[in-house]
């Protein structure tokens, strides 16, 4: 045999393998999740390059003992770009919303730490917003060729003057009825549909880098191949780029927020039309209603290292933790604690390409008995990732206000048990019209409590079809309403098309693999290139289905912080001044 030919062939094979690894993610891992069911989260979520550290202080405030609303508002509005309004220790009393619309880009509101600085709202909230308007949602241009998933450009016949580099836009299409549906059990429509532009549940926000006469280039790739057959369009994103802009790189840091009043849909922090803004090391407690952080029409925002605890209302639509609404895309929600909330980590109404990573959720509270730790709740959240979280309550893809698809639940510890409640104790609940979910590498259930592996409607493809609202199943699939076991209409498991692979569950007491998938190697992460520095001495990745006994909440920094009151220490340094001896 010709050795030179063997070497050439080996070189070619090595090159092909290298290209395969590049195309299939970092670290050379083969791929369990098909390319059409995931996006490139790594490098495309959260503030690009990390949250900047602002050091120049433009104003320092102390509590007055009276109403501090004007003092805080005036300091923020008068602060130059990229500077800090510093709040000294004490309690600041605020009686109205602190409005960021006229605050310059890059301004940070920073306390002296959540244990030292408190803002108490007797009314209003922290309203971080850019130039918001509904009318621009109806200004659009049609694509002149189908978009291609993974590419960072589109074609139009002629690029409008309102398409400008540095601004962001919505790309969407009319609903493909094979998997995108509004309505749900209680009604639900996308915002663009509400404004008369047709049912457009599936979309994303894209930021323009450059343009030619007929081509537009974006900062991040397309999540989906938007099709001309469904009238794919690029539209203004709730602001007019010819006269306004999003709020850019503004932040709230190192303080505590609380409310003394209650009110439906009264959120603690609103991030509306924001680009690369953040909430960092903020404790919010007793939100009036609504959400602790409501994000709308925003791009690559980051919410991290924070604590969100309790709301004054826990009825339907209230008591949320971080809720990403209205096509918010590329956001990162990481290393937070969610305590005593109705629905902690939620994506709704077209929000896509977001990551919820390494958060700790406990002790959900809901008037209905429906406790959702990680959930979708409105047409059509897709291509979102929940990774490395520890949650006591459940994963829920619901049909209440419309469909969802292509969401990934990876390497989480999901207990799915709520002490004191018998209703709907299900770790993973995926209702009708929630298609192509990926549930991979998780540790699911509670020993001694869960007694059924999976439940589907009759004909749905599960061994167990008998169901009630007290069923102790690891999985519920495909009901019109899983919580009530409503099988008036349903999806079969084949139609649901979930990938359920490599999960350990406490009923089977083993890892269950999908026999159609030969790959049983779980990559460490779908969005991190390696262990993050803030994990300190903790092992990473924290949750491994091959080691379910070692999966408590303190294996992630958020859970460790909640239990111990401090962050995990640094990893031990290697010994120094050693020499090699033979």
Please name every residue paired with 260 in a beta bridge, in sequence order, or none if there are none: none
* Helix%, strand%, coil% for the chain, nearest 5: 10, 30, 55
**Residue 487 has what pLDDT?**
83
Nearest 5°: the CA angle 237, 242, 247 is 55
Three-state SS sequence of 132-181: CCCHHHHCEEEECCCCCCCCCEEEECCCCCCCCCCCEEEEECCCCCCCCC
Residue among 341, 328, 432 at smallest CA distance from 391: 341
**Residue 29: predicted pLDDT:** 52
Question: Are 221 and 125 within 8 A, CB to CB?
Answer: no
DSSP 306: -
CA 385 to centroid of chain Cα atoms:
7
CA distance 351 to 312: 26
Whose structure tokens read 């301004």?
107
Q: What pLDDT was estimated at residue 459? A: 80
Q: What number of other Cβ atoms are within 10 A of residue 470's Cβ?
A: 11
Reading the block at residue 355, the tokens are 């990551």
Return d(Cα 74, Cα 72) in angstroms, integer.
6
Quick check: bond before 541 cis, omega within 30?
yes
Phi, psi of 564 (to 5 degrees): -110, -10
The DSSP string of 172-240 is: E----TTT----TTT----HHHHTTS-----EEEEEEEEE-SSEEEESS--SS---GGGT-EEEE-SS-
The Cα-based distances of 411 to 51, 65, 197, 386, 559 in angstroms read 26, 48, 39, 8, 15
DSSP per-residue string spanning 438-491: EEES-EE--TTT--EEEE--TTSS-SB----TT--EEEEESEEETTTTEEEEE-
CA distance 197 to 139: 9
85 beta partners: 59, 109
Task: Report whether 527 contacts 40 (CB < 8 A).
Answer: no
CA distances from 500 to 427, 465, 493, 503, 517 (A): 13, 18, 11, 7, 10
Label each residue of 332-376 as H, E or C: EEECCEEECCCEEEEECCCCECCEEECCEEECCCCCCCCCEEEEE
* Pairwise CA distance, residues 343 & 321, whole Å: 6
Tally of CB atoms within 10 A around 546: 11
| Domain ranges (residues) in the chain | 135-236, 533-564
Provide the pLDDT for residue 541: 99
2, with CB counted inside 10 A (0-12, 13-18, 19+), is exposed
Instruction: Provide the b/e sequence for 402-432 (b: ≥16 CB within 10 Å).
Output: bbbbbbbbbbbbbbbbbeeeebbbbbbbbbb
pLDDT in tens, 214-255: 999 999 999 999 999 999 999 999 999 999 999 999 999 999
Q: Which ranges of the chain have pLDDT less than 70?
A: 1-30, 570-582
State the sign of the Cα–Cα–Cα–Cα dihedral 175, 179, 180, 185: positive
Strands 251-259, 108-110: pairing is parallel
The answer to whether the Cα torsion of 309, 294, 127, 108 is positive or negative is positive
């Amino acid at each position: 045999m010709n050795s030179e030919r063997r070497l050439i062939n080996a070189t070619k094979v090595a090159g092909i393998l290298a290209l395969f690894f590049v195309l299939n993610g970092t670290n050379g891992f083969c791929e369990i999740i098909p390319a059409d069911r995931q996006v490139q989260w790594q490098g495309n979520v959260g503030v690009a390059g990390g949250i900047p550290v602002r050091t120049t202080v433009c104003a320092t405030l102390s509590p007055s003992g009276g109403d501090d609303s004007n003092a805080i508002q005036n300091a923020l509005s008068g602060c130059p770009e990229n500077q800090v309004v510093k709040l000294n220790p004490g309690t600041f009393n605020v009686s109205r919303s602190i409005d960021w619309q006229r605050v310059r880009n890059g301004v940070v509101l920073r306390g002296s730490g959540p244990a030292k600085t408190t803002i108490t709202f007797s009314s209003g909230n922290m309203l971080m917003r850019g130039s918001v308007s509904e009318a621009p949602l109806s200004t659009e241009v049609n694509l002149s060729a189908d978009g291609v998933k993974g590419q960072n450009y589109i074609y139009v016949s002629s690029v409008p003057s309102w398409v400008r580099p540095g601004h962001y836009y919505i790309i969407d299409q009319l609903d493909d009825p094979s998997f995108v549906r509004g309505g749900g059990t209680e009604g639900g429509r996308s915002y663009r549909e509400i404004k008369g532009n047709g049912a457009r549940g599936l979309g994303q926000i894209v930021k323009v880098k450059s343009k030619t006469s007929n081509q537009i280039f974006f900062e991040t790739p397309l999540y989906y191949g938007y099709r001309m057959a469904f009238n794919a369009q690029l539209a203004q994103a709730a602001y007019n780029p010819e006269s306004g802009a999003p709020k850019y790189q503004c932040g709230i840091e190192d303080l505590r927020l609380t409310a003394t009043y209650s009110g439906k849909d009264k959120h603690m922090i609103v991030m509306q039309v924001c680009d690369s803004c953040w909430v960092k090391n903020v404790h919010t407690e007793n939100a009036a209603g609504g959400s602790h952080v409501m994000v709308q029409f925003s791009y690559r925002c980051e919410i991290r290292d924070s604590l969100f605890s309790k709301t004054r209302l826990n009825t339907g639509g209230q008591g949320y933790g971080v809720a990403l609404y209205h096509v918010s895309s590329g956001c990162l929600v990481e290393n937070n604690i969610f305590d005593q909330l109705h629905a902690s980590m939620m994506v709704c109404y077209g929000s896509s390409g977001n990551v919820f990573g390494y958060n700790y959720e406990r002790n959900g509270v809901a008037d209905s008995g429906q406790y959702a730790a990680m959930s979708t709740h409105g047409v059509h959240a897709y291509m979102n990732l929940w990774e490395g979280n520890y949650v006591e309550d459940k994963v829920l893809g619901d049909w209440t206000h419309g469909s969802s698809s292509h969401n990934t639940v990876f390497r989480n510890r999901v207990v799915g048990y709520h002490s004191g409640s018998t209703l709907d104790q299900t770790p993973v609940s995926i209702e009708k019209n929630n298609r192509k979910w990926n549930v991979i590498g998780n540790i699911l259930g509670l020993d001694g409590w869960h007694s059924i592996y999976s439940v589907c409607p009759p004909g749905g493809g599960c061994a167990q079809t008998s169901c009630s609202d007290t069923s102790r199943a690891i999985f519920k699939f495909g009901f019109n309403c899983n919580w009530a076991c409503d099988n008036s209409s349903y999806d079969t498991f084949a139609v649901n098309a979930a990938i359920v692979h490599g999960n350990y569950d406490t009923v089977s007491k083993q890892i269950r693999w999908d026999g159609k998938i030969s790959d049983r190697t779980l990559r460490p992460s779908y969005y991190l290139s390696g262990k993050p520095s803030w994990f300190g001495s903790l092992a990473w990745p924290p949750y491994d289905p091959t080691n379910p006994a070692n999966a408590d909440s303190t294996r992630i920094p958020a859970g460790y912080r909640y239990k111990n009151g401090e962050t995990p220490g640094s990893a031990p340094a290697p010994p120094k001044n050693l020499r090699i001896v033979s």
